[in-house]
Amino acid sequence: MPDRAEDRYPPIADYALLSDCHSSALVSRAGSIDWCCMPRFDAGSCFGRILDWDRGGWCSIAPTGDHSVSRRYIEDTLVLETTFRAGGGECTVTDCFAMRRGGRESPRRQLIRTVEGIRGRIEMEIVVVPRFDYGEIRPWIRHLGVREYSAIGGTDGLLITSDADIAPSGLHELRASMAVRAGERVRLSIQYVLPEHLDEGRPPAPQPQELDRHLDETIAWWKRWAGRGRMEGRDAEAAIRSAIVLKGLTNAPTGAIVAAPTTSLPEAWGGSRNWDYRYSWIRDSSFTVRSLAELGYDAEADGFRRFIERSAAGSAEDLQVAYGVAGERRLTELTLGELEGYRGARPVRIGNAASDQVQLDMYGELLELAWRWHERGRSPDDDYWRFLVELIEAAGARWQEPDRGIWEIRGRPVHFVHSKVMCWAALDRGLTLAKECSRRAPTRRWTQVRDRIRRAVEAKGYDRTRGVFVRSFGARALDSSLLLLPTTGFVAWDDERMVRTADAIREELDEGGLLVRYRGADGLKGREGVFLACSFWLVECLARQGRLTEAREVFDATASTGNDLGLFSEEHDPARGAMLGNFPQGLTHLSHIAAAVALATEMRTAQPSGATAGDP
C-alpha cells in the first residue's frame, strides 16, 4: 500500500467529474479541485495536484474545522452538490462548468462554485492556488478590481472573481475566510481568458445574479440533454448516468470522445503503467454507436462517427489508432520527470506513443462503425465507400501480420486472435455493405480472404483439446477480449465454443469475481487490477447466452466498483477495494451501457407474456 507520505492523495473514488464538453475538472469529496485542464481536455493543467501534491495547484472550498460531508449530482446533470455540516451549521457547495442555454455559442470556459447556507452558521475557507503547465508555472497574480484578480503564466490566463473577500496570500495564491449563514450565497468564478485579453479588453467581472443565471442555465442544459435518453428497467438510471459521463467526455466542436479526462493515474500501485488517455481512440467509436444510439443519443453517436471518419480519412496507409480531440495525429509521448505522480506512480506521461502502433483491429472497428450506421438507415456515400474499400483491402493484405492488439502491448507484436477476427469483420461487413448498398466490389476475392482468415483462426486460434478460443495463434492462454468475438458475427453468442470460452475466461481470469485482461508478464512494472470493461463484456456475453442469473450477479459485482456518484475507473483492485487507472473511463461507461441494455433486452425476451418484470 502507498506509504504515509503518499496518503495525502485522496482515493480516486473520491473524485467527481465536471465538464462543459471542452474542458474538464475533478473535484474531491473534500471540496478541492485537484485536476483541471482548460481550454481543452488535453491542455496543460491549471490545477493538478492529483499528480503532484506540492507542485500541482488546487482550488478548495471547505469548512475550516471538523465536519461531515455528503454529495450528489443534481438529478440528470453533471452539476455537483456537496453538503458540509459542522457544529450547528450546514451549507452546500455547487460546482459546475457553465453551459450556454443554446449550446451552439462559444463556451464560457468558466468554473462556477457556489456556497449556500442551509442552516445555522458555518466557517468556510476558499483557497485558489493555480499552477499552469502541469505545475511547471507559478502564475503572476494581479489585482484587477474589487475582488477581481488575474493569474497569468505563459500563454494561459485565468480571471478569478468572487463576492467573498479573496486576497493574495503570498505571491501565487488567493485565500478568503468567511462565515456562511442560512440563506446566504457566496460565489467563486474561475474563467479561462487569454493573457492578452486580460490586459486589454477583458470581459467584465461576472455579477452574482449573472453567475446564478449561468448555474440555472447549466442545470437546465443537462436535464434537457439527459431527457432525450430512453431506457426502462432497474438499470435505466445508472445507464443514463453513464451516458451523461460520456457526454461530459465529448469535445463539442468535433464530436470526439476522450478515453478519459486524466493522464497517468496508475493501473498498478507505484508502478509505471501510467498513460495519457485524453485522446480519442478508433475502437471506442463502434462501442459508442452501439451504446449511445441504443439509449437514443443518436447525435452524439453520429458526432463521434463523423469525427473518426474525418480523422481517419485520406488513406488506410495513414490510419492511426488514436487522435487528438481536434483530429491531431502527433500525440508525441513525453515524461514529466519532475512530478512525483499520483501516490508516487511514475513516470507521469503526456501524449501517447500507442498512436503509432500497428493495431489491426482498427480496420474492423471502422467497418463495424459503417455497418452499424447503415443498420440505422444511413448508408455510406460514394466518397466514404471508396475509403471503406481501401480499409477492406488493407485488412485483407495485412491480416497475417502480428500486431500490438487491443491492449496496446509495448512488447513484441503477436498474432492476436481478436485482431484477426476484426480483420475478418472488415471483410465480412464490406461484403454485406456491398450487397445491401448495391456497390461494386471485388466480392469473390474478399470472400476468399475472409474465409481464409476464419480457417486460420479456427485452426491456430482455437484450442481443440479444451474447445475454447485462445489469446493468440498457437497459445493456450486466454484473453478477455475474446468475449467480443460474437459482436462481429464471427461466432454466435450461444455457440458451444463461445459458451466454453466464456466459462474458461471466468475460471482463468477471475480476480475477486471480476476479470483481468490476461495473465502473464508483459514487460511492465507492477500488477494491474481487474479491467472493468472486460467484466461488463462478460455480462453481455452471459445475458445473450440466456444465462440471466449469472449475468445479473456479474453485473451487480462490476457496478459496485463505481463510486457513490456512479463513476467508473478503468481498473479496480479487489484486494484493497480501490479504483485504479484513468478516471472516469469512457470505455468502462460504454461497456456498462451495453451490458445494461443486453440484460434489459434479454430479460424482456425471456419474460412470459403478461408477466411482471422482476429479478434478475
Question: Which residue from 148, 243, 218 is spatially nearest to 188, judged by alpha carbons?
Answer: 148
**Arithmetic mean of pLDDT, 266-279:** 90
The verdict on residue 513 lying in a domain is no
Tell me the percentage of the chain whose pLDDT exceeds 70: 96
Number of structural domains found in the chain: 1
Range of the domain at 195: 4-226
Residue 284 pLDDT level (bands cut at 50, 70, 90): confident
- pLDDT tens for 171-184 read 899 999 999 999 99
- pLDDT tens for 74-98 read 999 999 999 999 988 999 999 999 9
Q: Where are the beta strands (DSSP E) in 416-515?
A: 462-463, 468-469, 510-511, 514-515
The DSSP-derived string for 536-568 is HHHHHHHHHTT-HHHHHHHHHHHHTTS-TTS--
- What is the pLDDT at residue 105? 60
- Comparing 118-127, 317-326, 412-421, 501-510, the range with the smallest average pLDDT is 317-326
Residue 142 pLDDT level (bands cut at 50, 70, 90): very high
- pLDDT tens for 558-573 read 999 999 999 999 999 9
CA dihedral 215, 230, 105, 24 (to 10 degrees): 60
- pLDDT tens for 327-339 read 999 999 999 999 9
**SS3 at position 91:** strand
**Arithmetic mean of pLDDT, 44-52:** 98
Taking each helix axis from N to C end, the angle separating 417-436 and 382-398, rounded to the nearest 10 degrees, works out to: 140
Q: pTM of this prediction?
A: 0.95
- What is the pLDDT at residue 317? 80
pLDDT of residue 1 exceeding 50: no
pLDDT of residue 159 exceeding 60: yes
The verdict on residue 373 lying in a domain is no
- At 240, which helix (H) or strand (E)? helix 236-248
Residue 7 pLDDT level (bands cut at 50, 70, 90): confident
- What is the pLDDT at residue 612? 37
- Comparing 9-23, 214-228, 277-291, 387-401, the range with the smallest average pLDDT is 277-291
pLDDT of residue 203 exceeding 80: no
Tell me the percentage of the chain whose pLDDT exceeds 90: 79
pLDDT of residue 62 exceeding 60: yes
- What is the pLDDT at residue 319? 85
150 forms beta bridges with: 142, 159
Which is more confidently placed, 505 or 381?
Answer: 505
The DSSP-derived string for 489-517 is TSS-TT-HHHHHHHHHHHHHSEETTEE-S
The DSSP-derived string for 344-356 is G----EES-GGGG
The verdict on residue 136 lying in a domain is yes
pLDDT of residue 599 exceeding 50: yes
Question: Which residue from 487, 482, 514 is spatially nearest to 501, judged by alpha carbons?
Answer: 482
The verdict on residue 526 lying in a domain is no
pLDDT of residue 520 exceeding 90: no
On whether the CB atoms of residues 610 and 595 are closer than 8 A, the answer is no
The verdict on residue 78 lying in a domain is yes
Which is more confidently placed, 375 or 505?
Answer: 505
pLDDT of residue 217 exceeding 80: yes
- What is the pLDDT at residue 522? 65
Which grid coordinates are listed for 494? 450461444
Residue 166 pLDDT level (bands cut at 50, 70, 90): very high
Which grid coordinates are listed for 480? 478477455
Residue 515 pLDDT level (bands cut at 50, 70, 90): very high
Annotate 261-329 with three-state secondary structure. Answer: CCECCCCCCCCCCCCECCCEEHHHHHHHHHHHHHHCCHHHHHHHHHHHHHHHCCCHHHCCCEECCCCCC
- What is the pLDDT at residue 396? 97
The verdict on residue 440 lying in a domain is no
Residue 4 pLDDT level (bands cut at 50, 70, 90): low
- What is the pLDDT at residue 524? 67
CATH assignment of the domain containing 47: 2.70.98.10
- pLDDT tens for 475-485 read 999 999 999 99
The verdict on residue 592 lying in a domain is no
Residue 525 pLDDT level (bands cut at 50, 70, 90): low
Residue 526 pLDDT level (bands cut at 50, 70, 90): low
Which is more confidently placed, 309 or 474?
Answer: 474
129 forms beta bridges with: 58
- What is the pLDDT at residue 357? 87
Looking at every residue in the chain, the average pLDDT score rounds to 92
Q: What is the CA radius of gyration of the chain?
A: 25
- What is the pLDDT at residue 474? 94
